[in-house]
Amino acid sequence: MADKDEMLQIDLCDGQVRVMLCETTDTVQRCADIHGCTPVCTAALGRLITGTAMLGIMMKGEKENVTVTIKGDGPMGTLVAVADHGKIRACADDPKVELPLREDGKLDVGSAVGHHGRLIVIKDLNLKENYIGQSELVSGEIAMDFAQYFTVSEQQPSLVALGVLVSGETVLKAGGLLIQPLPGCPDEIIDQLELRSPMFADISREMTFAPIEQLCEDWFRGMNPKILERTPVSYTCSCSRERMERALISLGRKELTALIEEDQGAELVCHFCHNKYFFTTEQLCELLKEAQRE
Ligand SMILES: [Zn+2]
């Protein structure tokens, strides 16, 4: 089945508010399948993927990409997602964490990620230095943590909703919404959006009733919503044998020599897609020659 996930870039009130609304169901399912995630980890990584996709699609340059890392004090350890425009990949130290449901019956994403820590955004803009922004975690529930990042680090007040509806190993629906009033946006419009915010709080459940285009019409009625752009979103890894060769070369002479002396070759596994790359001792010797040239 072809991926049908996509991001809608929407304009409200004749350019006074920027909105991103996306479905990421297939993308999150792929992530859960690759990593064998438990439901709470599917929800955590799924929310991270969805938030990172929004940042990825904001990037304008062709070779630019964005990495979002969440370093929380929860049992999942560090979570990482990389977005190359609409192509996303993600992983976590431990994607198999199991936790009891919260009292309200929801998955306890905050406890899996941790309630304390940092959200770090690195934008590779193809310049000499990367842009790095970060903020403290608010709750570990991820949507509020992204909102905090936009407000504190990018000085852009934002309303963020991220949702993943999971049943066992199946992702029923996943998606997200970002609302950013642009400079000069009148208070009445901001008040209107805040009044409506309970409508999008449980976004993945809303998505089981209607496609995102319909939700956009319903939620922003009277605010002249206009879809400006649609971008496909998918779980896509960019690893390759060349990249793995470069990773081996960057280990340095000492490490490479040690691998060659063991004479068992080397197997590298991509963290994001679990593709395996095998190098024979002979091939490692070739890489050692290159390492010596550098
Ligand atoms: Zn890969």
Residue ranges of domains in the chain, CATH in brackets = 6-235 (3.55.30.10), 241-293 (3.90.1280.10)
Q: What is the pLDDT of residue 252?
A: 87
> Using CA atoms, how far apart are residues 81 and 122, in angstroms rounded to an integer?
11
Mean pLDDT of the chain: 95
CA distances in angstroms from 128 to 123, 146, 256, listed in the order given:
12, 26, 29
Pairwise pLDDT comparison (91 vs 294), residue with the higher score: 91
CB 228 within 8 A of CB 10: yes
Is a pLDDT exceeding 50 seen at residue 56? yes
pLDDT category at 2 given cuts 50, 70, 90 is: very low
Whole-model pTM?
A: 0.94
Retrieve residue 84's tokens: 């190359």
Nearest to 186 by CA among 18, 13, 10, 20: 13
pLDDT category at 294 given cuts 50, 70, 90 is: confident
273 CA distance to ligand 1 middle (Å): 4
- pLDDT digit string, tens, across residues 230-246: 999 999 999 999 999 99
What is the rounded average pLDDT of the residues 116-136?
Answer: 95
pLDDT category at 291 given cuts 50, 70, 90 is: confident
174 CA distance to ligand 1 middle (Å): 22
206 CA distance to ligand 1 middle (Å): 33
Q: What is the pLDDT of residue 3?
A: 53
Residues 6+ apart with CB under 8 A from 153: 121, 133, 134, 135
pLDDT category at 4 given cuts 50, 70, 90 is: confident
Amino acid identity at 252: G
- pLDDT digit string, tens, across residues 174-183: 999 999 999 9
268 CA distance to ligand 1 middle (Å): 10
Q: What is the pLDDT of residue 1?
A: 45
The β-bridge partners of 132 are 122
244 CA distance to ligand 1 middle (Å): 10
288 CA distance to ligand 1 middle (Å): 23
> Using CA atoms, how far apart are residues 15 and 28, in angstroms rounded to an integer?
31
Q: Which 3 state secondary structure label does DSSP give 174? A: strand
Length of the chain: 294
> Using CA atoms, how far apart are residues 177 and 77, in angstroms rounded to an integer?
26
Pairwise pLDDT comparison (149 vs 1), residue with the higher score: 149
Q: What is the pLDDT of residue 61?
A: 87
108 CA distance to ligand 1 middle (Å): 28
Query: Within 10 A of 132 (CB to CB), how many other CB atoms are there?
Result: 11
